[in-house]
Amino acid sequence: MFIQVITGPNLNMLGKREPGIYGSETLDSIIGRCKTLAAELDCKLEAFQSNHEGALVDKIQECAAIKCDGILINPAAYGHTSIAMRDALLTVGIPFVEVHLSNIHAREEFRRRSMISDLAAGIVLGFGAESYLIGLRGLVEKLRRA
Ligand code: DQA
């Protein structure tokens, strides 16, 4: 089973960025923990981060070509705005889990809307870096059952 992790803008700054909200762990460390868990779950996992909406759309499209079974995605701020990312996820039709480090419903009003949540196989938010690991477990479990 092959899982692609996709993370959006400003998540490359984790560790330095608003640690009171997002924690002190770097993205490299979170991805490292996802890779360890993926190996335990007998999965291959690759990760991609970009600050650019088009690059994220390209990566989602590429997921179909590289025969990825599932996507774990933190769309970051583009999740609140990007119809293009929504359309790309609809186009490839690959099951995905949406994750957020913070509880987007307990913050500013504009963060409550997600352009992709209704398409997701599952959503995990508010557990900090653990959101990724919980989301990965849930995604793999759901794919195995399907
Ligand atoms: C985030 C929440 C978004 O609202 C924000 O724009 C981010 C990170 C999270 O993981 O909590 O960049 O997706």
The string of pLDDT tens digits covering residues 11-58 is: 999 999 999 999 999 999 999 999 999 999 999 999 999 999 999 999
What pLDDT does 55 receive? 98
Ligand 1 atom closest to the Cα of residue 11 is: 12
Residue 95: which of 132, 136, 38 has the closest Cα?
A: 136
For residue 14, what are the CA distances in angstroms to 53, 69, 79? 18, 27, 17
Ligand 1 neighbourhood includes 111 CB (under 6 angstroms): yes
Ligand 1 neighbourhood includes 74 CB (under 6 angstroms): yes
What pLDDT does 42 receive? 98
* Size of the chain, expressed as the number of residues it contains: 146
Confidence band, pLDDT 50/70/90 cuts, at residue 143: very high
pLDDT > 70 in the chain, percent? 100
- C-alpha 70 – ligand 1 centre gap (Å): 21
Ligand 1 neighbourhood includes 117 CB (under 6 angstroms): no
Residue 117: which of 135, 137, 97, 141 has the closest Cα?
A: 97
- C-alpha 79 – ligand 1 centre gap (Å): 8
Mean pLDDT value across the chain:
98
Tell the burial category of 46 from Cβ atoms under 10 Å away from its Cβ (0-12, 13-18, 19+). Answer: middle
- Can you say whether the dihedral through the CA atoms of 44, 122, 25, 127 is positive or negative? negative
Residue 50: which of 84, 11, 23, 22 has the closest Cα?
A: 11
Ligand 1 neighbourhood includes 76 CB (under 6 angstroms): yes
What pLDDT does 68 receive? 97
Cα distance between residue 116 and residue 31, in whole Å: 22
Phi and psi, residue 17, nearest 5°:
-85, 120
Confidence band, pLDDT 50/70/90 cuts, at residue 71: very high
